[in-house]
């Protein structure tokens, strides 16, 4: 039986992961859960899966949880120390890293140093410090299994092939809710419109990133490190149907693609069970019903966030950490009605333009760049 810890258990990925665990109780045991502030949902998860350790955002929430759990038969922690404890428990075999944003970096690295295999949904871990994270994984004998549907598709499409034969990776993107909007229309979109994704159900931050195409930009940087592929060999195609999750083209002209319905339980179950597959009972893909699959290049004039991500990975060093931090601050500002939708890439570009790239040799280098970019983006806003 594989023993799991989940970082971000009350988020979209965490909830879907626990849905799979509930169906396969004979294969998996939940040892620990880390959550933010959604205490009510966490209580329900505790009652159902009976973890030994849980961690929440801060001390007041931890005290509230202690008061509301009766009898108290689990260890309740809080803050980054609590999350790190969840990520490094000795009895845990695999850590599901599903915290959204830069907050997922430290616990993910802690888990790797503790020699836990990682099911990775937190793309920021590799965006901010990909070189260091992959080096740590190699030195500690840790395997990182991607949960993002695109990276899971690439992972599956690479199996049985040699990396030297790869010509390019093609990441697909739905295009979000504004695929056909003009730049004038984009300037006036509302928060609710931006959160209305046509295909995927995700948390607010990732949904906004999908609408701006920054999510795809972050995935380009993640793929560069996860698969040790130069960014110049990673392309993005808009694919509104979200059936082909990504493709790998080989030097002989062959293209291997992974397809499936847009449901995160597919890639999650594959990461948990690899090299096996779980009978998830998801609906079968019916291509006759879908009728057609379309692809197009992204319009970088209307969606400049993608080009900013390519610029960040090209400049290298600490610039991807700056890109990510500025994006998090800009998205938060948009969700709080402080800037418009097109203000997001504008703030990111201004922040990047104000920064002098540094080499990244330690996690601290990434964290310092992250902190600087957050302060700068807030000043710009």
Instruction: Look at residue 15 and tell me whether its pLDDT is greater than 90.
Output: yes
76 and 51 Cβ atoms separated by less than 8 Å: no
| Residue 356 confidence (pLDDT) | 97
**Count of CB atoms situated within 10 Å of the CB of 1:** 10
Element spanning 78, H or E: strand 75-78
How far apart CA 212 and CA 191 sit, in angstroms, is 12
**Count of CB atoms situated within 10 Å of the CB of 199:** 16
How far apart CA 171 and CA 148 sit, in angstroms, is 11
**Diameter of the chain measured on Cα atoms:** 63
CA proximity to 149, closest of 51, 254, 44, 16: 16
| Residue 291 confidence (pLDDT) | 85
How far apart CA 263 and CA 150 sit, in angstroms, is 12
User: Any idea which of 163-177, 187-201, 350-364 has the lowest mean pLDDT?
Assistant: 187-201
How far apart CA 180 and CA 13 sit, in angstroms, is 28
Beta strand 75-78 with 94-97 is: unpaired
User: At a CB cut-off of 8 Å and minimum separation 6, what does 186 contact?
Assistant: 178, 302, 341, 342
| Residue 13 confidence (pLDDT) | 94
Q: Report all structural domains of the chain as residue ranges with CATH numbers, in order of start.
A: 2-146 (3.40.50.720)
| Residue 202 confidence (pLDDT) | 72
How far apart CA 298 and CA 88 sit, in angstroms, is 40
| Residue 102 confidence (pLDDT) | 86
How far apart CA 117 and CA 237 sit, in angstroms, is 31
| H helical segments located in the chain | 12-23, 39-49, 59-68, 79-88, 105-113, 124-139, 149-158, 183-186, 191-194, 204-212, 214-226, 265-273, 287-290, 305-315, 319-335, 343-353, 363-380
| Residue 198 confidence (pLDDT) | 72
How far apart CA 90 and CA 150 sit, in angstroms, is 31
* 306, 312, 314, 319: CA torsion to nearest 10: -170
Complete DSSP assignment for 233-248: GEEEEE-TT--EEEEE
pLDDT in tens, 207-234: 999 999 999 999 999 999 999 999 999 9
pLDDT in tens, 105-155: 999 999 999 999 999 999 999 999 999 999 999 999 999 999 999 999 999
Instruction: Look at residue 19 and tell me whether its pLDDT is greater than 70.
Output: yes
pLDDT in tens, 154-166: 999 999 999 999 9
| Residue 100 confidence (pLDDT) | 86
6 and 18 Cβ atoms separated by less than 8 Å: yes
Q: The whole model's pTM is what?
A: 0.94
| Residue 162 confidence (pLDDT) | 96
Average pLDDT of the residues of the chain: 95
CA proximity to 330, closest of 318, 346, 319, 309: 346
User: At a CB cut-off of 8 Å and minimum separation 6, what does 18 contact?
Assistant: 6, 9, 30, 45, 48, 49
| Residue 352 confidence (pLDDT) | 98
| Residue 206 confidence (pLDDT) | 87
CA proximity to 258, closest of 368, 338, 155, 352: 155
Mean pLDDT of the 167-177 span: 94
47 φ/ψ angles, rounded to the nearest 5 degrees: -65, -35
14 and 272 Cβ atoms separated by less than 8 Å: no
| Residue 71 confidence (pLDDT) | 63
pLDDT in tens, 178-208: 888 888 899 899 999 888 877 666 778 889 9
pLDDT in tens, 58-107: 999 999 999 888 767 899 999 999 999 999 999 999 999 999 888 899 99
98 and 11 Cβ atoms separated by less than 8 Å: yes
Mean pLDDT of the 286-310 span: 94
């Amino acid at each position: 039986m594989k023993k799991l810890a989940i970082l971000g258990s009350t988020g979209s990925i965490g909830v879907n992961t626990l849905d799979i665990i509930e169906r396969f109780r004979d294969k998996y045991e939940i040892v620990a859960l880390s959550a933010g502030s959604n205490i009510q949902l966490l209580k329900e998860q505790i009652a159902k899966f009976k973890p030994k350790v849980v961690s929440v955002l801060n001390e007041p929430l931890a005290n509230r949880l202690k008061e509301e759990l009766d009898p108290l038969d689990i260890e309740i922690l809080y803050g980054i120390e609590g999350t790190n404890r969840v990520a490094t428990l000795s009895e845990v075999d695999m850590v599901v890293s599903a915290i959204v944003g830069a907050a997922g970096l430290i616990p993910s690295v802690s888990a790797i140093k503790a020699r836990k295999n990682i099911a990775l949904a937190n793309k920021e871990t590799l965006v901010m410090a990909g070189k260091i994270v992959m080096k740590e994984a190699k030195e500690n004998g840790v395997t990182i299994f991607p949960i993002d549907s695109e990276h899971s598709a690439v992972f599956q499409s690479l199996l049985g092939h040699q990396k030297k034969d790869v010509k390019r990776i093609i990441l697909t993107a739905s295009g979000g809710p504004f695929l056909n909007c003009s730049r004038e229309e984009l300037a006036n979109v509302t928060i609710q419109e931006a959160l209305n994704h046509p295909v995927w159900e995700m948390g607010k931050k990732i949904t906004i990133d999908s609408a701006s195409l920054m999510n795809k930009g972050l995935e380009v940087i993640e793929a560069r490190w996860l698969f040790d592929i130069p960014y110049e060999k990673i392309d993005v195609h808009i694919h509104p149907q979200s059936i082909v999750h990504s493709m790998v083209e080989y030097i002989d002209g062959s293209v291997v693609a992974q397809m499936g319905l847009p449901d995160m339980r597919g890639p999650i179950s594959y990461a948990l069970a690899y090299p096996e597959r779980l009978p998830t009972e998801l609906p079968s893909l019916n291509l006759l019903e879908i009728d057609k699959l379309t692809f197009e290049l992204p319009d970088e004039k209307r969606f400049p966030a993608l080009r900013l991500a390519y610029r960040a990975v090209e400049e290298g060093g600490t610039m991807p950490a700056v890109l990510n931090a500025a994006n998090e601050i800009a998205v938060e500002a948009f969700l709080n009605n402080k800037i418009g939708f097109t203000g997001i890439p504008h703030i990111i570009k201004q922040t990047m333009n104000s920064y002098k790239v540094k080499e990244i040799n330690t996690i601290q280098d990434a964290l310092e760049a992250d902190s600087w970019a957050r302060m700068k983006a807030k000043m710009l806003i």
